[in-house]
Structure 1
Amino acid sequence: MTKVLVVDDTMFMRHAIKTMLADSSYEVVGEAINGREAIEKYRELLPDVVTMDVTMPVMSGLDATKVIIEEFPDAKIIIISALGQQKMILQALSLGAKDFITKPFDQQRLMSTIVKVVEY
Protein backbone atom coordinates (compact mmCIF):
# COMPACT_ATOMS: atom_id res chain seq x y z
CA MET A 1 0.00 0.00 0.00
CA THR A 2 1.35 3.43 -0.97
CA LYS A 3 1.89 5.74 2.01
CA VAL A 4 0.86 9.40 1.62
CA LEU A 5 1.68 12.46 3.75
CA VAL A 6 -0.93 15.22 3.33
CA VAL A 7 0.33 18.76 3.96
CA ASP A 8 -2.08 21.71 3.99
CA ASP A 9 -2.84 24.42 6.52
CA THR A 10 -6.60 24.05 6.10
CA MET A 11 -8.43 21.15 7.71
CA PHE A 12 -10.98 21.20 4.87
CA MET A 13 -8.35 20.49 2.21
CA ARG A 14 -6.59 17.80 4.27
CA HIS A 15 -9.95 16.12 4.84
CA ALA A 16 -10.87 16.39 1.14
CA ILE A 17 -7.61 14.76 0.06
CA LYS A 18 -7.92 12.00 2.67
CA THR A 19 -11.49 11.32 1.51
CA MET A 20 -10.37 11.11 -2.13
CA LEU A 21 -7.65 8.63 -1.15
CA ALA A 22 -9.86 6.53 1.15
CA ASP A 23 -11.37 4.48 -1.70
CA SER A 24 -8.00 3.49 -3.13
CA SER A 25 -4.84 1.58 -2.39
CA TYR A 26 -3.31 4.63 -0.72
CA GLU A 27 -2.88 5.03 3.01
CA VAL A 28 -2.66 8.49 4.58
CA VAL A 29 0.06 7.93 7.16
CA GLY A 30 0.24 11.51 8.39
CA GLU A 31 -0.84 15.11 8.09
CA ALA A 32 1.01 18.38 8.56
CA ILE A 33 -0.30 21.94 8.79
CA ASN A 34 2.86 23.80 7.72
CA GLY A 35 6.20 23.23 6.06
CA ARG A 36 8.17 22.76 9.26
CA GLU A 37 5.78 20.05 10.42
CA ALA A 38 5.93 18.48 6.95
CA ILE A 39 9.71 18.07 7.24
CA GLU A 40 9.40 16.50 10.71
CA LYS A 41 6.66 14.11 9.57
CA TYR A 42 8.57 13.19 6.41
CA ARG A 43 11.65 12.25 8.45
CA GLU A 44 9.52 10.24 10.87
CA LEU A 45 7.16 8.48 8.42
CA LEU A 46 9.16 8.26 5.17
CA PRO A 47 6.02 8.33 3.00
CA ASP A 48 5.98 7.20 -0.63
CA VAL A 49 4.42 10.47 -1.77
CA VAL A 50 3.59 13.91 -0.33
CA THR A 51 0.82 16.29 -1.32
CA MET A 52 2.24 19.72 -0.43
CA ASP A 53 0.30 22.99 -0.29
CA VAL A 54 2.34 26.02 -1.35
CA THR A 55 1.05 28.83 0.86
CA MET A 56 1.15 27.98 4.57
CA PRO A 57 2.11 29.77 7.79
CA VAL A 58 5.40 29.15 9.66
CA MET A 59 7.14 27.64 6.60
CA SER A 60 5.92 27.53 2.99
CA GLY A 61 5.55 24.40 0.92
CA LEU A 62 8.38 25.63 -1.31
CA ASP A 63 10.81 25.90 1.59
CA ALA A 64 9.74 22.51 2.94
CA THR A 65 10.12 20.92 -0.51
CA LYS A 66 13.66 22.31 -0.77
CA VAL A 67 14.67 20.86 2.63
CA ILE A 68 13.03 17.46 2.04
CA ILE A 69 14.59 17.05 -1.43
CA GLU A 70 18.02 18.05 -0.12
CA GLU A 71 17.79 15.33 2.56
CA PHE A 72 15.83 12.78 0.53
CA PRO A 73 16.61 13.28 -3.20
CA ASP A 74 14.15 10.54 -4.20
CA ALA A 75 11.19 12.12 -2.35
CA LYS A 76 8.05 12.28 -4.46
CA ILE A 77 6.34 15.59 -3.74
CA ILE A 78 3.21 16.81 -5.52
CA ILE A 79 2.65 20.55 -5.16
CA ILE A 80 -0.92 21.71 -4.67
CA SER A 81 -1.54 25.36 -5.45
CA ALA A 82 -4.29 27.83 -6.13
CA LEU A 83 -4.90 29.18 -9.61
CA GLY A 84 -2.52 31.97 -10.55
CA GLN A 85 0.49 30.60 -8.70
CA GLN A 86 2.36 29.44 -11.81
CA LYS A 87 5.59 31.15 -10.71
CA MET A 88 5.52 29.21 -7.43
CA ILE A 89 4.74 25.96 -9.26
CA LEU A 90 7.74 26.42 -11.56
CA GLN A 91 9.92 27.23 -8.57
CA ALA A 92 8.71 24.07 -6.76
CA LEU A 93 9.44 21.92 -9.80
CA SER A 94 12.93 23.42 -10.04
CA LEU A 95 13.45 22.52 -6.35
CA GLY A 96 12.63 18.87 -7.07
CA ALA A 97 8.85 18.51 -6.79
CA LYS A 98 7.67 15.82 -9.21
CA ASP A 99 4.33 17.33 -10.32
CA PHE A 100 1.60 19.75 -9.37
CA ILE A 101 -2.17 20.01 -9.07
CA THR A 102 -4.08 23.28 -9.25
CA LYS A 103 -6.99 23.89 -6.87
CA PRO A 104 -9.80 23.15 -7.26
CA PHE A 105 -9.27 19.56 -8.40
CA ASP A 106 -11.26 16.34 -8.39
CA GLN A 107 -10.51 12.79 -7.27
CA GLN A 108 -9.59 11.63 -10.78
CA ARG A 109 -6.97 14.39 -11.16
CA LEU A 110 -5.47 13.62 -7.74
CA MET A 111 -5.34 9.88 -8.35
CA SER A 112 -3.84 10.11 -11.86
CA THR A 113 -1.13 12.50 -10.61
CA ILE A 114 -0.22 10.25 -7.67
CA VAL A 115 -0.08 7.17 -9.91
CA LYS A 116 2.18 9.01 -12.38
CA VAL A 117 4.51 10.27 -9.64
CA VAL A 118 4.73 6.95 -7.76
CA GLU A 119 5.61 5.10 -10.99
CA TYR A 120 8.10 7.81 -12.02
Structure 2
Amino acid sequence: MTAKTRVLLCDDSRAMRVMTASILEENGFEIAGEADSGLAAISQYKATRPDVVLLDLVMPKMDGKAALREILDFDPKAVVIVLSSLGAQSDIEKCLKVGAKSYLQKPIEPEALLRVIGEAAGG
Protein backbone atom coordinates (compact mmCIF):
# COMPACT_ATOMS: atom_id res chain seq x y z
CA MET A 1 0.00 0.00 0.00
CA THR A 2 1.32 3.44 -0.89
CA ALA A 3 1.48 6.28 1.59
CA LYS A 4 -1.27 8.87 1.35
CA THR A 5 -0.43 12.18 -0.28
CA ARG A 6 -0.18 14.75 2.54
CA VAL A 7 -1.67 18.17 1.80
CA LEU A 8 -1.20 21.46 3.68
CA LEU A 9 -4.25 23.73 3.40
CA CYS A 10 -3.47 27.46 3.50
CA ASP A 11 -6.50 29.73 3.30
CA ASP A 12 -7.78 32.48 5.58
CA SER A 13 -11.34 31.15 5.13
CA ARG A 14 -12.03 28.41 7.67
CA ALA A 15 -15.06 27.29 5.63
CA MET A 16 -12.84 26.87 2.57
CA ARG A 17 -10.32 24.78 4.55
CA VAL A 18 -13.07 22.57 6.03
CA MET A 19 -14.71 22.00 2.63
CA THR A 20 -11.39 21.29 0.90
CA ALA A 21 -10.26 18.95 3.69
CA SER A 22 -13.46 16.89 3.46
CA ILE A 23 -13.13 16.51 -0.34
CA LEU A 24 -9.50 15.44 0.01
CA GLU A 25 -10.04 13.05 2.91
CA GLU A 26 -12.98 11.38 1.13
CA ASN A 27 -10.61 10.74 -1.77
CA GLY A 28 -7.73 9.21 0.18
CA PHE A 29 -5.57 12.25 0.87
CA GLU A 30 -4.23 13.14 4.31
CA ILE A 31 -4.39 16.67 5.70
CA ALA A 32 -0.89 17.51 6.96
CA GLY A 33 -2.00 20.77 8.53
CA GLU A 34 -3.85 24.05 8.06
CA ALA A 35 -2.79 27.68 8.00
CA ASP A 36 -4.87 30.87 8.01
CA SER A 37 -2.10 33.31 7.00
CA GLY A 38 1.03 33.38 4.90
CA LEU A 39 3.20 33.35 8.02
CA ALA A 40 1.37 30.31 9.38
CA ALA A 41 1.73 28.61 5.98
CA ILE A 42 5.51 28.88 6.17
CA SER A 43 5.78 27.58 9.73
CA GLN A 44 3.31 24.75 9.00
CA TYR A 45 5.30 23.81 5.89
CA LYS A 46 8.53 23.63 7.88
CA ALA A 47 6.85 21.63 10.66
CA THR A 48 4.93 19.13 8.52
CA ARG A 49 6.85 18.86 5.21
CA PRO A 50 3.69 18.04 3.21
CA ASP A 51 3.70 16.52 -0.28
CA VAL A 52 1.51 19.32 -1.65
CA VAL A 53 0.61 22.85 -0.47
CA LEU A 54 -2.69 24.49 -1.44
CA LEU A 55 -1.92 28.19 -1.01
CA ASP A 56 -4.46 31.01 -1.20
CA LEU A 57 -3.01 34.23 -2.62
CA VAL A 58 -5.06 36.64 -0.49
CA MET A 59 -4.32 36.14 3.20
CA PRO A 60 -3.55 38.34 6.23
CA LYS A 61 -0.09 38.98 7.74
CA MET A 62 1.67 37.80 4.57
CA ASP A 63 0.07 37.12 1.22
CA GLY A 64 0.36 33.90 -0.75
CA LYS A 65 2.93 35.28 -3.20
CA ALA A 66 5.35 36.15 -0.40
CA ALA A 67 4.67 32.84 1.37
CA LEU A 68 5.29 30.95 -1.91
CA ARG A 69 8.73 32.55 -2.23
CA GLU A 70 9.62 31.75 1.39
CA ILE A 71 8.48 28.12 1.09
CA LEU A 72 10.45 27.64 -2.13
CA ASP A 73 13.52 29.34 -0.62
CA PHE A 74 13.28 26.87 2.27
CA ASP A 75 12.56 23.86 0.01
CA PRO A 76 13.06 24.33 -3.75
CA LYS A 77 11.32 20.98 -4.38
CA ALA A 78 8.09 22.06 -2.62
CA VAL A 79 4.94 21.32 -4.62
CA VAL A 80 2.73 24.41 -4.28
CA ILE A 81 -0.65 24.90 -5.94
CA VAL A 82 -1.90 28.47 -5.82
CA LEU A 83 -5.57 29.24 -5.14
CA SER A 84 -7.01 32.47 -6.45
CA SER A 85 -10.47 33.95 -6.34
CA LEU A 86 -9.25 37.10 -7.99
CA GLY A 87 -8.93 35.67 -11.44
CA ALA A 88 -5.90 37.93 -11.68
CA GLN A 89 -4.06 36.23 -14.50
CA SER A 90 -0.93 38.31 -13.90
CA ASP A 91 -0.72 37.15 -10.24
CA ILE A 92 -1.11 33.53 -11.30
CA GLU A 93 1.55 33.89 -14.01
CA LYS A 94 3.96 35.48 -11.49
CA CYS A 95 3.41 32.58 -9.09
CA LEU A 96 4.02 30.00 -11.81
CA LYS A 97 7.25 31.81 -12.77
CA VAL A 98 8.36 31.82 -9.11
CA GLY A 99 7.79 28.06 -8.94
CA ALA A 100 4.17 27.20 -8.18
CA LYS A 101 3.31 23.90 -9.91
CA SER A 102 -0.25 24.84 -10.83
CA TYR A 103 -3.20 26.97 -9.84
CA LEU A 104 -6.89 26.59 -9.14
CA GLN A 105 -9.57 29.22 -9.53
CA LYS A 106 -12.08 29.64 -6.68
CA PRO A 107 -14.72 28.44 -6.24
CA ILE A 108 -12.92 25.13 -6.64
CA GLU A 109 -14.57 22.27 -8.46
CA PRO A 110 -13.86 19.00 -6.55
CA GLU A 111 -12.90 17.17 -9.78
CA ALA A 112 -10.41 19.90 -10.72
CA LEU A 113 -8.96 19.92 -7.19
CA LEU A 114 -8.36 16.16 -7.23
CA ARG A 115 -6.95 16.19 -10.77
CA VAL A 116 -4.53 19.07 -10.16
CA ILE A 117 -3.27 17.67 -6.83
CA GLY A 118 -2.88 14.23 -8.38
CA GLU A 119 -0.88 15.64 -11.30
CA ALA A 120 1.26 17.86 -9.08
CA ALA A 121 1.97 15.11 -6.53
CA GLY A 122 2.66 12.53 -9.20
CA GLY A 123 4.97 14.60 -11.28
TM-score (norm 1): 0.97
The partner residue of 1:24 within 24, 27, 31 is: 27
Q: Which of these residues, 50, 69, 73, is aligned with residue 70 of structure 1?
A: 73
Give unpaired runs (5+ residues) of structure 1: none
Aligned counterparts of 2:86 and 2:61: Cα–Cα separation in 1: 22
- Percent of pairs identical after alignment? 36
Matches within 5 A, 1:40-79: 40-79=43-82
- Counterpart CA distance in 2 for 1:104 and 1:25 is 21
Structure 1 residues 1-120: aligned runs within 5 Å: 1-120=4-123
CA RMSD, aligned part only?
0.8
Stretches of structure 2 lacking an aligned partner (at least 5 in a row): none
Question: Helix, strand or coil: the match of 1:75?
Answer: coil
Q: Give me the TM-score of the superposition, normalised by structure 2.
A: 0.94
